[in-house]
Amino acid sequence: MKVLPVVSGGMDSVTMLHDLVCRGYEIDEMLKISNFDFEQYETHRPDDFKEDNVRTLALVMIKDKYDFICGALDAVIAQEELQPNDRSRALELIVADYTSGK
């Protein structure tokens, strides 16, 4: 009976086990990311926007603040009878009111 060496292709069994565990962790992390809801980051740009004049504003915050701000934007959209997806215009109106001292 012939015994094969522990080292195969330059990797010992401990290194191979470590690599498998790390890859398993990486796969788990990738699966978590792949299930992430990116819908909140979708942008709705009007057709008349030129790409060179468009900027995206992204803010990171806790969910409670996000829900509060989205509620305020939706309230402005309803009050001003804006298009349902025109949150950028709603934000512009809020900022204009704030900077004008209202």
Query: What confidence tier does 73 reach under pLDDT thresholds 50, 70, 90?
Result: very high
Neighbours of 32 (CB within 10 A): 9
Mean pLDDT across the stretch 54-82?
90
60 burial type by CB count under 10 A (0-12 exposed, 13-18 middle, 19+ buried): exposed
| All residues at 6 or more sequence positions from 52 whose CB lies less than 8 Å from its CB, including other chains | none
Could you give the percent of the chain with pLDDT greater than 70? 51
pLDDT digits (tens, 9 = 90+) for 14-62: 666 666 666 666 767 776 776 666 566 665 655 666 667 777 788 889 9
**pLDDT value for 2:** 47
